[in-house]
Amino acid sequence: MVDKTPRTTRRRRDAEATQRKLVVAGTRLFAERGYDGVALSAIAARAGVNKAMVSYHFGGKRKLYLAIVTATFADIVARAETLPASGRPAPDLLRELIALIAETATRRTPDFPAMMLREVLAGGKRLGSETVAYPLRVAAVVRRIVERGVREGSFRPVDPLLTHLSLVGSLLFFFATTRLRERLMAEGRLRANAADGASYVKHMQDLLIDGLAARRNRSRRAARRAS
């Protein structure tokens, strides 16, 4: 059968497919070896493309690295910044924020959290000021949600930055250690349900929201559980 797709459309699809392969391959290698441990040729080989394609589509290894980080955080920020505009209660907003960070950070590739954890441990030295602005905007969303919760009386007074670090740090570490848990499970050294991402997200939602709850709300929840 003759492919009647216009040539420009085929070229665009081919370019998008190549870019996707490079993003997946680059993220996996950056997660496994760190930025300095990854050669341009290794990314191309993992993606199954010519090495020149990295420079053609992204402008080199550093720009590919920044493109991966920027695209993921831009997606998180675009969705997260709509939450405070909602009139819903703060606990509902925080629950949704936790879910969307977990889902978006692993959507393009499950290796992004491990890649980002390596960058954090390196002091974020490869992130420019524009890129660093994205996680700061996520922190600002957490602050607005926490401050609303305190005003509403649903949250006790807490430090929004510490809440942000607890939220993002826990999610990042959980998803970055997925392969370790899978190996330990295969060896019979860890419970079979220990790698369930959805269960962990639900755990973090309940843990943070219950932990932030104002005293009277906490007492009501405890009474409902006991009844």
- Position 154 scores a pLDDT of 96
Strand positions, DSSP E, 40-188: none
At 155, phi and psi to the nearest 5? -115, 145
Q: With contact defined as beta carbons under 8 Å apart, do 26 and 43 qualify? A: yes
Amino acid 221: pLDDT: 54
Give the number of other Cβ atoms within 10 Å of residue 218's Cβ: 14
Axis crossing angle, helix 61-80 with helix 129-152, rounded to the nearest 10: 20
Q: Spell out the domains of the chain, with CATH numbers in brackets.
A: 65-226 (1.10.357.10)
Q: pLDDT 10s digit of each residue in the chain, 227 long?
A: 545 666 677 677 789 999 999 999 999 999 999 999 999 999 999 999 999 999 999 999 999 999 999 999 999 999 999 999 998 999 999 999 999 999 999 988 899 999 999 999 999 999 989 999 999 999 999 999 999 999 999 999 999 999 999 999 999 999 999 999 989 988 999 887 766 899 999 999 999 999 999 976 555 555 555 55
Contact 38, 15 (CB under 8 A): no
Identity of the amino acid at 73: F
Question: How far from chain centre, in Å, is Cα 60?
Answer: 24
Q: What is the pLDDT of residue 193?
A: 72
For 65-74, give one letter per residue: b (16+ CB within 10 A) or e: bbbbbbebbe
What is this structure's pTM?
0.86
What amino acid is encoded at 197 in this protein? G
